[in-house]
Amino acid sequence: MPHTRPSTHAARSPRHQRATVLVEVAGDGTQGLLVCADTDGFWWLPGGRWDPTAPAPREPLLATAVRALSTTTGMTAYGGVFFMEHRGNHHVHHVFVLQATGTPTMTNDREIPALGLCLPDRRIIPLAAAASVNPARIRLTSSCRHIISTYDQHKAEQPERLVLPTFALPDAPIPRGAADQPPDAPSQPSRTSGNHAVQVRIGTALLELCDGDIVRQDLDAVVNAANEGLHTGSGVCGAIHRAAGARELAAACRQIGGCPVGEARLTPGFKLRARFILHAVGPRYTNQHPTASARLLASAYTSSLRLARTHGIRSIAFPSLSTGVFGYPIADAAPIALRTVMDYMQRHPEIRHVRFVLRHASFAAYQHALQHLDVPGNIQ
């Protein structure tokens, strides 16, 4: 496998996680991929390292890619798709194809002394360079050559897979049309979503926020905001029990015998459109220290996804866990829920479709959290 740059210690060097960005821009009447130079004389694709030692919750790699594009070139990403993973001697590149607005600029010429445009024949047209730098002497790394060659090949063979927005936020200037439909997603993903919907692509999977009714969802499974005894409750729990058939569902829950906080259990969907119900028990906010509450809330989402994956469930509708009678502040719960689910979907692409079904103020809170999730400077 091509290495990132020459090193006499390549065999001993650990591989760092790197979010690498592919962005097509136009310059001087030509179009190519944006590249940036480092201080060692190599052209790189823009991107940033993901710090595995940072305190949890860690920034998702997609957020790292979006942030790195902004801090490196001043451009704002509004859409994209996870493309590939490339392993070099020094880095594991998680490569994202991003759609962006703005004119590329050098935001820090001491760290990034030049910006360039990589043409299909691998020639580099300099866009900007510090006075002390000769762009003609900078070389494209072999890892980046491999990534760009793979991108060119896939774009030629399957162009529709590289134009779909994955980080599409409300009011983003993304062209509408047939290309917006992700592969393997439902033909009408918002048919049971309600009045408002926001869609985000995570690789080839789909994450949705919608203002709707959890009991009307036609995905493989819906998640019940359950209590530890799996008894009929109020709010979402009561609505799911009533719609599924209170007697049948109560009998199935009695056979299970309860569920600890932070875990999930599975029953049939009975009269629901969904084939299964995942009963997830989130924390009661007043019963825990905020740090413990956050850990248990994330665990409830992860346990639901893990259980779904074990049973071959590919599409799931979540409510906002713990934010009803359990008292979890919605502004704190929404980022935890989104970050946890997005991270799991990145690591487990067999989960094809996750929909958060929210009501009114909860929808607004999740929409706000998605816009600001680990991305400094507000993506518009």
pLDDT tens for 297-336 read 999 999 999 999 999 999 999 999 999 888 999 999 999 9
Q: What average pLDDT does the segment 38-63 reach?
A: 77
At 254 the pLDDT is 93
Whether 319 is in a domain gets the answer yes
- How far apart, in Å, do the first and last CA atoms of the chain sit? 38
Instruction: Tell me: do 119 and 63 sit in the same domain.
Output: yes
The mean pLDDT of the chain is 79
Instruction: Tell me: do 204 and 116 sit in the same domain.
Output: no
Q: Supply 94's token pair.
A: 């998680």
At 305 the pLDDT is 96
CA atoms of 29 and 116, how far apart (whole Å):
14
Whether 108 is in a domain gets the answer yes
Q: Does 360 score more than 90 pLDDT?
A: no
Per the CB < 8 A criterion, the answer to whether 341 and 380 are in contact is: no
Per the CB < 8 A criterion, the answer to whether 278 and 240 are in contact is: no
Query: Residue 184: what are its φ and ψ, rounded to 5°?
Result: 65, 5
Q: pLDDT grade, residue 193 (50/70/90)?
A: very low
Instruction: Tell me: do 129 and 259 sit in the same domain.
Output: no
Per the CB < 8 A criterion, the answer to whether 263 and 303 are in contact is: yes
pLDDT tens for 120-141 read 889 898 888 888 888 888 999 9
Tell me the helices (H) and strands (E) count for the chain, helix number first: 7, 17
SS3 state of residue 332: helix
Q: Which residue range forms the structural domain that includes residue 122?
A: 16-162
Instruction: Tell me: do 41 and 122 sit in the same domain.
Output: yes
> What is each CA distance from 15 to 18, 34, 111, 315, 367, in whole angstroms?
9, 24, 21, 33, 35
Instruction: Tell me: do 21 and 94 sit in the same domain.
Output: yes
Q: Does 12 score more than 60 pLDDT?
A: no
Whether 104 is in a domain gets the answer yes
Instruction: Tell me: do 150 and 42 sit in the same domain.
Output: yes
Element (H, E) at 209: strand 205-211
DSSP-assigned beta bridge partners for residue 91: 16
Instruction: Tell me: do 212 and 150 sit in the same domain.
Output: no
Q: Does 181 score more than 70 pLDDT?
A: no
Instruction: Tell me: do 125 and 195 sit in the same domain.
Output: no
33 or 82, which is more confident:
33
Whether 8 is in a domain gets the answer no
> In the Cβ-directed half-sphere of 281, how many Cα atoms lie within 13 Å?
16
Q: pLDDT grade, residue 158 (50/70/90)?
A: low
Of 142, 162, 182, the position where a domain reaches its end is 162
pLDDT tens for 201-228 read 888 889 999 988 899 998 999 999 999 9
Instruction: Tell me: do 206 and 157 sit in the same domain.
Output: no
What is the pTM assigned to this prediction? 0.52
Per the CB < 8 A criterion, the answer to whether 217 and 223 are in contact is: no
Per the CB < 8 A criterion, the answer to whether 113 and 129 are in contact is: yes
At 160 the pLDDT is 52
Beta strands in 4-140 (DSSP E): 16-22, 24-27, 30-37, 42-44, 47-49, 76-87, 91-101, 114-118, 124-129, 139-140
Whether 141 is in a domain gets the answer yes
Instruction: Tell me: do 195 and 156 sit in the same domain.
Output: no
Instruction: Tell me: do 105 and 244 sit in the same domain.
Output: no
CA atoms of 317 and 194, how far apart (whole Å):
13
Whether 350 is in a domain gets the answer yes
> What is each CA distance from 109 to 36, 66, 129, 222, in whole angstroms?
10, 20, 8, 51
193 or 282, which is more confident:
282
Give the CATH number for residue 263: 3.40.220.10
SS3 state of residue 177: coil
Instruction: Give how many domains the chain has, as a whole number.
Output: 2
Instruction: Tell me: do 237 and 346 sit in the same domain.
Output: yes
Whether 87 is in a domain gets the answer yes
Q: Does 277 score more than 60 pLDDT?
A: yes
Whether 283 is in a domain gets the answer yes
Give the CATH number for residue 71: 3.90.79.10
